[in-house]
């Protein structure tokens, strides 16, 4: 990896649509959510305390400001305000200065209780209409439940008081180093029909070092934005004629195919058989699978000859046609059917984002049909696939085991049995995992694969589900056991990368475009020093290509230093430089992306070594 990985806390910085927003702030709608200060851990209460101090500063500058809410969020805090005019950068500087003054004054945070009617009268007298609305909602809820009006709590510090459940720090002086980051519009209660408030985002940390690291990660995330890198490295582009679908340029498509082919190697070794089923499928299939009822809004529908078809949003049901194409016996199982099918999901155009939120994608999907007594061995095999595939990128995945949800289909005892097998295999795998109770699919317990990238951001990539209900029962699958009886197989839905589009988006940001040698779109750039070295350069490229390497020759008339700089900018891992001495002796000067150099390497030797390096998929 070219970029040094920084230590620091894991954080969830969302990939934002514009450069100023790098936060995940889920909409809060109900009165309960509005009162939740998000202060669930010690650092959170510092963040929420900073939000109060920010509101104090805003009120000092805009005495008539109306306050929305100001919770702690991942990596920071915000507060929403209704103000007479849009905030400017100068305003933020003034708010920042006021906050520093409040922190220097070390005002204690004091909790106060007030009877409901007094609290409401106070908020109304101060013109805080949004606070009044929250209180009225709480009163309505209490009335509906036949309960007494709640006692309300306020927190005060210095001249400021806010309706709040806390918790807070003991005093403003305990607030650590902070930075105001951005202003964005936010609808009150997340509803487009309500007023648009101005939301100020800030971040605060216990130490200056933590703050600096966070700011570095944030800047780095902007630089690594895969949409920008995708354009700069000529990998892919997006066009409004097909929102949410990538146009793959030659280099990006090489990367795509290299990743897919590496997974195909695992699949070949493990006895998968690849299938391909139609992307356009009749409505009746989705009625049978249950998707028509639950998932129709997410499907693209197509009419033909008075019939309704859909672009498939997943491959699952169609694989059952191949399973049922002949009589299956216990000896045929496991039957591992992989498919790189083209999938479409009708995501709202507003949520589409580069490769990570798309409408059109392909997954390294497989449906593995096994006997119940084969589940354990198959999960063990899949754990090995995960370990191997993620090691190609130097990534250590974390798994999340989602167990039976309340609305699950099928027999509880069967769920328990399946979950016990999966849990035992997770333990044996040696991979890190956590359990998320009731987070399984409604038809299957599942194992989600997550990775943490070089910036400490967590990404979900793929999922494995052990399905004993949806495909086996709804599609009436069976096999003949040793005694000649019909038995239900188990269907394991499996992906290791997940969506190739999303995976490439994540990898692009993780590596900042400097992909490992084995999968780099251009692995080596041949750099002839002068015109007379171009022909020999092409010959050398031929030698390297003969070993399956992806090689280009920079035959432009730029100077050598420019060619090297360009190859560096394009994050090409290996530069092979040819001058008179090299051409004469059929050797080359080799320069790596990390700056290391080697002189006098023979062409055949170079080709053999690079081919070996590519095949070993070391990072
Ligand atoms: Zn508070
Ligand atoms: Zn599936």
Looking up tokens 């949004």, which residue turns up? 130
Q: What is the pLDDT of residues 504-544, one digit of tens each?
A: 999 999 999 999 999 999 999 999 999 999 999 999 999 99
361: left (phi over 0), alpha (psi -120 to 50) or beta: beta
Q: How far apart are CA 342 and CA 205, in angstroms?
A: 44
Ligand number nearest to the C-alpha of 444: 2
Per-residue model confidence (pLDDT) at position 452? 94
Ligand number nearest to the C-alpha of 320: 2
**Can you spell out the DSSP letters for 316-333?**
HHHHHHHHTTS--BGGG-
**Can you spell out the DSSP letters for 203-269?**
EE-SSHHHHHHHHHHHHHHHHH-HHHHHHHTTSEEE-TTSTT-EEE-HHHHHHHHHHHHHHHHHHHH
Neighbours of ion ligand 1 (CB under 5 A): 37, 155, 164
Residues listed for the chain = 619
Rounded to the nearest whole angstrom, what is the distance from the C-alpha of residue 430 to the centroid of ligand 2?
26
Per-residue b/e over 463-500, b at no fewer than 16 CB within 10 Å? bbbbbbbbbbebbebebeeeeeeebbbbbbbbbbbbbb
Element (H, E) at 95: helix 89-105
Ligand number nearest to the C-alpha of 168: 1
Per-residue model confidence (pLDDT) at position 9? 26
Q: How confident is the model at residue 13 (pLDDT cuts 50, 70, 90)?
A: very low
Q: What is the 3-state secondary structure (H, E, C) of 507-548?
A: HHHHCCCCCCCCCCCCCEEEEECCHHHHHHHHHHHHHHHCCC
Q: What is the pLDDT of residues 34-63, one digit of tens each?
A: 888 888 888 999 999 999 999 999 999 999
Ligand number nearest to the C-alpha of 165: 1
Which residue would you say has higher pLDDT here, 484 or 149? 484
Rounded to the nearest whole angstrom, what is the distance from the C-alpha of residue 555 to the centroid of ligand 2?
48
Per-residue model confidence (pLDDT) at position 491? 97
Ligand number nearest to the C-alpha of 38: 1
Rounded to the nearest whole angstrom, what is the distance from the C-alpha of residue 184 to the centroid of ligand 2?
39
Per-residue b/e over 310-331, b at no fewer than 16 CB within 10 Å? bbbbbbbbbbbebbeeeebebe
Q: What is the pLDDT of residues 101-136, one digit of tens each?
A: 999 999 999 999 999 999 999 999 999 999 999 999
Reduced to 3 states (helix: H, G, I; strand: E, B; else coil), residue 489 is coil
Q: What is the pLDDT of residues 155-200, one digit of tens each?
A: 999 999 999 998 999 999 999 999 999 999 999 998 889 999 999 9
Determine contact, residues 330/482, Cβ cutoff 8 Å: yes
Rounded to the nearest whole angstrom, what is the distance from the C-alpha of residue 311 to the centroid of ligand 1?
49
Residue among 359, 366, 162, 174 at smallest CA distance from 260: 366
Rounded to the nearest whole angstrom, what is the distance from the C-alpha of residue 51 to the centroid of ligand 1?
8
Per-residue model confidence (pLDDT) at position 293? 85
Ligand number nearest to the C-alpha of 67: 1
- Structure pTM? 0.80
Per-residue model confidence (pLDDT) at position 210? 96
Q: What is the pLDDT of residues 560-618, one digit of tens each?
A: 999 999 999 999 999 999 999 999 999 999 999 999 999 999 999 999 999 999 999 98
Q: How far apart are CA 472 and CA 468, in angstroms?
A: 6
Looking up tokens 């750099």, which residue turns up? 527
Residue among 284, 295, 321 at smallest CA distance from 441: 295
Q: How far apart are CA 99 and CA 55, in angstroms?
A: 9
Per-residue model confidence (pLDDT) at position 433? 96
Ligand number nearest to the C-alpha of 164: 1
Rounded to the nearest whole angstrom, what is the distance from the C-alpha of residue 456 to the centroid of ligand 1?
28
Q: Per DSSP, what are the bridge partners of residue 336? A: 272, 368
Per-residue model confidence (pLDDT) at position 21? 41
Tell me the mean pLDDT in the region 352-364. Answer: 93
Question: What are the CA-CA distances from residue 361 to residues 121, 239, 347, 350 (Å)?
Answer: 55, 15, 12, 18
pLDDT at position 1 over 50: no
Rounded to the nearest whole angstrom, what is the distance from the C-alpha of residue 315 to the centroid of ligand 2?
6
Q: How far apart are CA 308 and CA 236, in angstroms?
A: 33
Q: How far apart are CA 402 and CA 366, in angstroms?
A: 20
Ligand number nearest to the C-alpha of 441: 2
Tell me the mean pLDDT in the region 11-18. Answer: 30
Which residue would you say has higher pLDDT here, 8 or 454? 454
pLDDT at position 340 over 50: yes
Q: What are phi and psi of 500, to 5 degrees?
A: -65, -35
* Cβ-proximal residues to 410 (8 Å cutoff; 6+ apart), any chain: 443, 468, 469, 473
Rounded to the nearest whole angstrom, what is the distance from the C-alpha of residue 19 to the centroid of ligand 1?
29
Rounded to the nearest whole angstrom, what is the distance from the C-alpha of residue 153 to the centroid of ligand 1?
10
Question: What are the CA-CA distances from residue 404 to residues 432, 435, 438 (Å)?
Answer: 20, 11, 5
Per-residue model confidence (pLDDT) at position 291? 87
* Cβ-proximal residues to 135 (8 Å cutoff; 6+ apart), any chain: 116, 119, 120, 123, 152, 163
Residue among 30, 24, 79, 28 at smallest CA distance from 51: 79
Write down the number of H helices and E strands in the chain.
19, 29
Rounded to the nearest whole angstrom, what is the distance from the C-alpha of residue 493 to the centroid of ligand 2?
4
Q: How confident is the model at residue 24 (pLDDT cuts 50, 70, 90)?
A: low
Ligand number nearest to the C-alpha of 44: 1
Q: What is the pLDDT of residues 467-494, one digit of tens each?
A: 999 999 999 999 999 999 999 999 999 9
| Percent share of the chain, pLDDT over 90 | 85
Per-residue model confidence (pLDDT) at position 19? 39
What is the DSSP secondary structure assignment for residue 347, as one 8-state letter?
Answer: -
146: left (phi over 0), alpha (psi -120 to 50) or beta: left
Q: How far apart are CA 387 and CA 233, in angstroms?
A: 29
Question: What are the CA-CA distances from residue 206 to residues 24, 43, 92, 431, 502 (Å)?
Answer: 20, 7, 22, 32, 34
């Amino acid at each position: 990896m070219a970029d040094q990985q920084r230590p620091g806390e894991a954080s969830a910085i969302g990939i934002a649509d514009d450069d100023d927003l790098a936060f995940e702030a889920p909409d809060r709608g109900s009165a309960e959510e509005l009162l939740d200060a998000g202060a669930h851990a010690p650092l959170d209460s510092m963040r929420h305390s900073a939000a109060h101090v920010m509101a104090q500063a805003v009120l000092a500058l805009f005495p008539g400001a109306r306050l929305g809410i100001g919770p702690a969020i991942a990596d920071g805090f915000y507060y929403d305000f209704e103000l007479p005019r849009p905030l400017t950068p100068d305003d933020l500087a003034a708010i920042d200065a006021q906050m520093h003054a409040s922190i220097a004054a070390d005002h204690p945070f004091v909790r106060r209780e007030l009877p409901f009617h007094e609290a409401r009268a106070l908020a109304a007298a101060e013109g805080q209409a949004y606070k009044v609305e929250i209180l009225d909602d709480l009163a309505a809820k209490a009335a509906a439940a036949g309960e007494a009006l709640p006692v309300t709590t306020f927190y005060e510090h210095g001249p400021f008081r806010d309706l709040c459940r806390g918790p807070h720090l003991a005093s403003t002086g305990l607030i650590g180093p902070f930075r105001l980051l951005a202003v964005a519009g936010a609808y009150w209660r997340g509803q487009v029909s309500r007023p648009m408030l101005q939301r100020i985002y800030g971040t605060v940390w216990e130490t200056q070092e933590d703050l600096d690291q966070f700011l570095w990660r944030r800047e780095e995330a902007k630089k690594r934005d895969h949409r920008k890198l995708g354009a700069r490295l000529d990998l892919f582009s997006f066009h409004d004629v097909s929102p949410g679908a990538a146009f793959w340029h030659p280099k990006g498509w090489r990367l795509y195919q290299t990743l897919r082919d590496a997974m195909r190697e695992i699949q070949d070794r493990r006895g998968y058989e690849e299938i391909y089923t139609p992307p356009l499928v009749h409505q009746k299939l989705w009625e049978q699978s249950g998707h028509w009822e639950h998932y129709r809004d997410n499907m693209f529908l197509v009419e033909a000859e008075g019939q309704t078809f859909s672009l498939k949003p997943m491959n699952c049901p169609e694989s059952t046609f191949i399973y049922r194409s002949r009589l299956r016996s216990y000896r045929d199982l496991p039957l591992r059917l992989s498919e790189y099918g083209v999938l479409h999901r009708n995501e709202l155009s507003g949520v589409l984002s580069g490769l990570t939120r798309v409408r059109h994608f392909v997954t390294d999907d497989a449906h593995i049909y096994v006997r119940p007594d084969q589940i354990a061995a198959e999960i063990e095999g899949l754990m090995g696939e995960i370990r191997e595939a993620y090691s190609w990128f130097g990534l250590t995945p974390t798994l999340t085991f989602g167990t039976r949800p309340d609305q699950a289909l099928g027999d509880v005892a069967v769920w328990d049995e399946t979950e016990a097998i999966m849990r035992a295999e997770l333990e044996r795998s040696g991979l890190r995992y956590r359990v998320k109770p009731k987070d399984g699919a409604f038809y299957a317990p599942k194992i989600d694969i997550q990775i943490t990238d070089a910036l400490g951001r967590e990404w979900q990539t793929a999922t494995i589900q052990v399905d004993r209900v949806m495909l086996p029962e709804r599609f009436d699958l069976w096999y003949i056991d040793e005694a000649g009886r019909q038995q239900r197989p188990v269907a394991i839905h499996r992906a290791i990368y997940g969506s190739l589009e999303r995976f490439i988006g994540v990898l692009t940001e993780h590596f900042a475009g400097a992909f490992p040698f084995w999968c780099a779109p251009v692995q080596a750039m041949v750099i002839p020093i002068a015109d007379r070295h171009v022909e020999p350069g092409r010959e050398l490229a031929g030698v390297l290509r003969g070993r399956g390497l992806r090689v280009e020759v920079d035959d432009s008339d730029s100077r050598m230093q420019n060619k090297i700089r360009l190859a560096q900018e394009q994050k090409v891992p290996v530069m092979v430089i040819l001058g008179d001495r090299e051409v004469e002796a059929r050797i080359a000067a080799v320069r790596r992306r990390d700056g290391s150099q080697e002189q006098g390497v023979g062409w055949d030797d170079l080709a053999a070594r690079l081919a070996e390096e590519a095949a070993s998929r070391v990072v």
